[in-house]
Structure 1
Amino acid sequence: MDSSAVVTPPYVAGPLRLYPFRGLMLSPSRIGDPSSARAFARPYRDVAARLTSWERRGLVHHDTEPAVYLHEYTVAGIVVRGLVGALDISRRATSRADRAVYPHEGVHPAQAEELAERMAEMQMNPAPILLVHRGPAAVRTLLARVAAAPPTHEFTDRAEQEHRVWAITDPDDLGALEAALAGSRALIADGHHRYAAYLRLQRDDPGGSHDLGLAMLVDQDETPLFLGAIHRVLVGTGLDDLRDACDRIGATFHRTTETAAVGALAPGCLAATDGTTWATLALPVPHGRAAVEVLHEQLVPALTDEPARIGYHHAVEEAMAHLSRSKGTALLMPAPDFDLVLRIVAAGRLLPEKATSFQPKPSVGVLIRSLLDGAPDRH
């Protein structure tokens, strides 16, 4: 198989379930520290032993009782709160109506395989994948009561993220959460390749700890993640090339000023620049589709010569800096709409690669799941 091929990962079947697990947490002095990320680097087989050593030295806390965790983190004034648990991935959906977890972009099989091998050697899920949903009222009510009590852990990490964590262990609360979440449908916000790695491990070793994968479920209505755009740089493509491609697909190309181009950004309108000249591209975006789909499905294929490569950048400044190093055109994208993304995945489609940027993400090390703890009793 072509290692650059992008494929659709399998869909997990409902009901959506987050099971308790015995959380591992790095010392606050290590969370948010770049050296902590290097602790999960090769050789992966040494990571579990390294964490055990740190645990003996008091640098890692390992809960004695399984819990589903409420994790709240604050970054630059943005507060995000989510449930962290062991996501049941043991069943594959057989119909669209049966799907409980929705990826919104494809994955590279080789990358997913590498991550699966890494987790198998480390014997852990080092960080939760990030899921978003519209939370049921019953879940909000229960979590509001949980958050009204003193947190189990409260600290500021080395990256200046503020964290509060509550361990939910009461059987009645866990049962109420399971019942309230059963009908939920969740979108993968971050971690598509780790999700695919979970499924690959479960396929190869069903019935044990690989039937679950660590996940954080955020209520997008309660404490929403910011959904931003990821801009493109078409290396080797000029503005005249884009103008001609626009003519071919019925899009409108208009040269203008930087201020006007950036101000015109809208669901169907992109801003383009070669670093000197600016233009707007009004794309023919049908109802129910996103501009990034039209860009990759119609505009880029309409270019006389395909770009030498496409660069992806979360910040406009990064895209402009790329232009200073490589001749080409930067395309500034509008921020995608969350409800539109939901409609696209519910219709069975995926967005092009790197179409969304959900922010902020939690620091690594707040909650880790050891695969050596096994799987909980699942009735």
Structure 2
Amino acid sequence: MADVQPLRALRYSQQLVGDLAQVVTPPYDVIGKEAQERYYERSPYNVIRLELGKEQTNDNNLNNVYTRAAATFAEWRSQGVIQQDSQPAYYMYQQAFQRDGQKYTRTSLLSRVRLEPWSARVVLPHEHTLAKAKEDRLNLYRACSTNFSPIMSMYEDPQGRMRRLLSAYAAKPEISIVDEAGEEHRLHPINDPEQVALIRDFFAERQLYIADGHHRYETALAYQAEIREQRRDLYADDGVNFTLMALIDVDDPGWLVLPTHRLLFNLSDDALAALSAEQLARYFHVQPLEAAMPNDILTQLVAAGQQRPSFVIQTPQQALLLQLNDQGERQMATSEHSPAWNRLDVAVAQRLILEDLLGINAATMAAGTNVRFTHEPEQAWQALKTGEIQAALLLNSTPLRQVCEVAQADDRMPQKSTYLYPKLITGLIMNPLW
């Protein structure tokens, strides 16, 4: 099964850069232009210069974001700003954060994981990827030959063996920083030979499920194929055969999966008519929510979702609680997907509400002509109030066990099925591919 190995990580020298909180960032794919500028200004050593450099009007094949990242990376290494650990280690990594008044601590193990093709069923995906995003990351690989940020993956540990092992290192972390969002990041290397052997043996019996970072995994496979073609061969432990992952127990109490609500606009009169209680009753038990307060709506949605896939359709005129009925279940069973996919709330919402009732298919969703997304129900209600949208489709979050079931079925989840909060930090450790 999975070959999970320690690595000689590249890390910032605290003596030279000072507060590590000033040089780390969230992952590149959640950083907008304004945040990018802020990270540039925060420190001359901020990892943004490697992970998501600024484009310039005179960029060309010899001078662009990727070549500048490579030059900066080489300069920082020669200056000792980034140094390589003297011995291989796994790294206990914790994120402590709050959401809606509740405290969470999510524990992961940072390591390098041997790349396997999807067909090997060692690392399992649950979503499709876009070519454009992969090309950008591949160019950065070619320039720097380093993983600057980890892929988030899950593993199963019903007995909690790894959780107990990591808890001993979490008590006194080597590094503890607080980022701009008030989230604490703790890091501690694990290089004791006995513990290293235990960890490697533990994962040798397990499959891994990608939770977040499918683009980066497929980019790593593409880069590996390129280098193999150039060299004609790769020795087994060549760094190119591995990628950086944060491995997290699927039952870790620190997981937080936020629902992704669908905001509907530019709907035709016929589509709006399909959101009536009479039309929705084809597939759902429909319960009007009379004068319910926003928090009451969410409470009722969560309670209904414990029994069957459930949703709230809200317009300026009404709020309807929907719970999948028998006819809806039969309709889902006619899909070309696995039973695991058919049980997903997001799959039911896409197939029965968006596609069957509203005529909005996956391509239309991707184009953004009728649907946009939010993780915050307050944004949905505000958009309804101002008339920005015509209806809000509120969902419950997707349980991570369902993600694993879809992956085991070799299926792919619908767009915007999960949002794992918070994202992993970029810049604490880096994985050299040499």
TM-score w.r.t. length of structure 2: 0.73
Supply the RMSD in Å over aligned alpha carbons.
2.8
For 2:28, the equivalent position in structure 1 comes to none
Check the 8 A contact 1:202/1:210 in 2, yes or no: yes
Hey, what's the Cα distance between the residues in 2 that align with 1:240 and 1:82? 47
Q: Residue 282 of structure 1 aligns to a residue in which SS?
A: strand
For 1:290, the equivalent position in structure 2 comes to 344
**Structure-2 change in CA distance of 1:270 and 1:304 (3 Å):** closer
Hey, what's the Cα distance between the residues in 1 that align with 2:250 and 2:403? 13
Aligned-partner residue type, residue 212 of structure 1:
F
Check the 8 A contact 2:150/2:424 in 1, yes or no: no
Check the 8 A contact 2:260/2:417 in 1, yes or no: yes
Whether 2:243 is the aligned partner of 1:213: answer yes
Pick from 98, 108, 118: which aligns with 2:140? 118
For 2:299, the equivalent position in structure 1 comes to 263
**Structure-2 change in CA distance of 1:195 and 1:256 (3 Å):** same
**Structure-2 change in CA distance of 1:155 and 1:248 (3 Å):** closer
Check the 8 A contact 1:248/1:302 in 2, yes or no: no
Moved more, 243-252 or 358-367: 243-252
Hey, what's the Cα distance between the residues in 1 that align with 2:287 and 2:2? 49
Check the 8 A contact 1:24/1:370 in 2, yes or no: no
For 1:106, the equivalent position in structure 2 comes to 128
Q: Deviations over 1:159-180 (max 9, x none)?
A: 4332221112233322221111
Task: List gaps (5 residues or longer) in structure 2.
Answer: 26-37, 41-45, 55-64, 229-233, 333-338
**Structure-2 change in CA distance of 1:139 and 1:262 (3 Å):** closer
Hey, what's the Cα distance between the residues in 2 that align with 1:223 and 1:48? 39
Aligned-partner residue type, residue 312 of structure 1:
F
**Structure-2 change in CA distance of 1:145 and 1:244 (3 Å):** closer
Q: Which has the higher helix share?
A: 2
For 1:355, the equivalent position in structure 2 comes to 417
What is the aligned length?
354
Hey, what's the Cα distance between the residues in 1 that align with 2:356 and 2:277? 8
Q: Residue 276 of structure 2 aligns to a residue in which SS?
A: helix
For 1:241, the equivalent position in structure 2 comes to 274
Q: Deviations over 1:245-296 (max 9, x none)?
A: 9548522444433436433313321112234532222233577411211121
Aligned-partner residue type, residue 331 of structure 1:
L
**Structure-2 change in CA distance of 1:290 and 1:154 (3 Å):** same
Check the 8 A contact 2:118/2:125 in 1, yes or no: no
Aligned-partner residue type, residue 344 of structure 2:
A
Check the 8 A contact 2:94/2:170 in 1, yes or no: no
For 1:277, the equivalent position in structure 2 comes to 318
Check the 8 A contact 1:249/1:302 in 2, yes or no: no
Hey, what's the Cα distance between the residues in 2 that align with 1:75 and 1:304? 39
Aligned-partner residue type, residue 345 of structure 2:
A
Check the 8 A contact 1:272/1:278 in 2, yes or no: yes
Q: Residue 348 of structure 2 aligns to a residue in which SS?
A: helix
Moved more, 25-34 or 228-237: 25-34
Hey, what's the Cα distance between the residues in 2 that align with 1:370 and 1:63? 11
Aligned-partner residue type, residue 105 of structure 2:
V
For 1:313, the equivalent position in structure 2 comes to 374
For 1:302, the equivalent position in structure 2 comes to 356
Hey, what's the Cα distance between the residues in 2 that align with 1:51 and 1:318? 40
Check the 8 A contact 1:264/1:271 in 2, yes or no: no
Q: Deviations over 1:59-114 (max 9, x none)?
A: 5443232222111221233211111011110x3254xxx52222222111232222
For 2:162, the equivalent position in structure 1 comes to 139
Check the 8 A contact 2:8/2:86 in 1, yes or no: no
TM-score w.r.t. length of structure 1: 0.82
- 1:115 is displaced (CA, Å) by 1.9
**Structure-2 change in CA distance of 1:143 and 1:256 (3 Å):** closer
Q: Residue 415 of structure 2 aligns to a residue in which SS?
A: coil
| Percent of matched pairs sharing the same residue | 22
**Structure-2 change in CA distance of 1:232 and 1:321 (3 Å):** same
Aligned-partner residue type, residue 24 of structure 1:
R
Aligned-partner residue type, residue 378 of structure 2:
E
For 1:330, the equivalent position in structure 2 comes to 392
Pick from 211, 223, 227: which aligns with 2:257? 227
Q: Residue 351 of structure 1 aligns to a residue in which SS?
A: coil
Aligned-partner residue type, residue 122 of structure 2:
A
- 1:315 is displaced (CA, Å) by 1.2
Moved more, 120-129 or 317-326: 317-326
Hey, what's the Cα distance between the residues in 1 that align with 2:73 and 2:358? 54
Check the 8 A contact 1:274/1:328 in 2, yes or no: yes
Whether 2:205 is the aligned partner of 1:183: answer yes
For 1:17, the equivalent position in structure 2 comes to 4
Whether 2:23 is the aligned partner of 1:30: answer yes
Q: Deviations over 1:307-337 (max 9, x none)?
A: 7332121111233344446333211101222
- 1:146 is displaced (CA, Å) by 3.6
For 2:73, the equivalent position in structure 1 comes to 51
